[in-house]
Amino acid sequence: MSIYTLHVESRFEAAHHLTSYRGEMEPIHGHSWRVRAELQTGELDAEGMGFDFVEIETALKGLVARFHHRHINDVPPFDRLSPTTERLARWFFDRLVQELPAAPFVGVRVWEGPTCSASYRPGRDPDSLA
């Protein structure tokens, strides 16, 4: 079976700080963040697309706008949770799935700079393991 993988990226500039990094609050600092949504499908529509890039870009840009030029620690739920790159990846994935439930999302990757990133892919339900 053939699989098509689609990637859509967006960027934002934002500051954050971890709330208990090695037992202490980390100093506020900024990053040039990058977010990549990944989708996979085995079928193309009548136009020959796996999913419309415009729909994904629109949803992703709307989510990214919540953080752009902001202090991430002021944006819910990160006003209560330490805004790690891992948690941001999960947050973006969950929101994209909510906004585009028909889209075949498989994961999200977030970079907090050019060399450091974290990915989130939902795991298999442990009850489904044979």
pTM equals 0.91
pLDDT at position 126, please? Answer: 45
How does pLDDT run along the chain (130 residues), one tens digit per residue?
789 999 999 999 999 999 988 888 899 999 999 999 999 999 999 999 999 999 999 999 999 999 999 999 999 999 999 999 999 999 999 999 999 999 999 999 999 999 999 999 998 554 443 3
pLDDT of residue 59: 98
pLDDT given at position 129: 37
∠ CA 37-94-87, nearest 5°, is: 85
Question: What are the structural domain ranges in the chain?
Answer: 4-118
Report CA dihedral (71, 69, 114, 23) to the nearest 10 degrees: -10
Report pLDDT for 128: 40
Q: Identify the helix (H) or strand (E) that includes residue 25.
A: none
Q: Which strands, in side-by-side order, build the sheet including 70-71?
A: 70-71, 4-16, 29-41, 105-111, 117-120
Four-way CATH pick for 4-118: 1.10.260.40, 1.10.3330.10, 3.30.479.10, 3.60.10.10:
3.30.479.10
Q: What is the distance, to the nearest Å, from the Cα of residue 21 to the centroid of all Cα atoms in its chain? A: 22
Contact 108, 92 (CB under 8 A): yes
How far apart are the C-alpha atoms of 109 and 9, rounded to whole Å? 9
Distance CA 84, CA 78 (A): 9
Q: What is the pLDDT of residue 27?
A: 92
Give the CA angle between residues 49, 110, 100 to the nearest 5°. 40
pLDDT of residue 124: 58
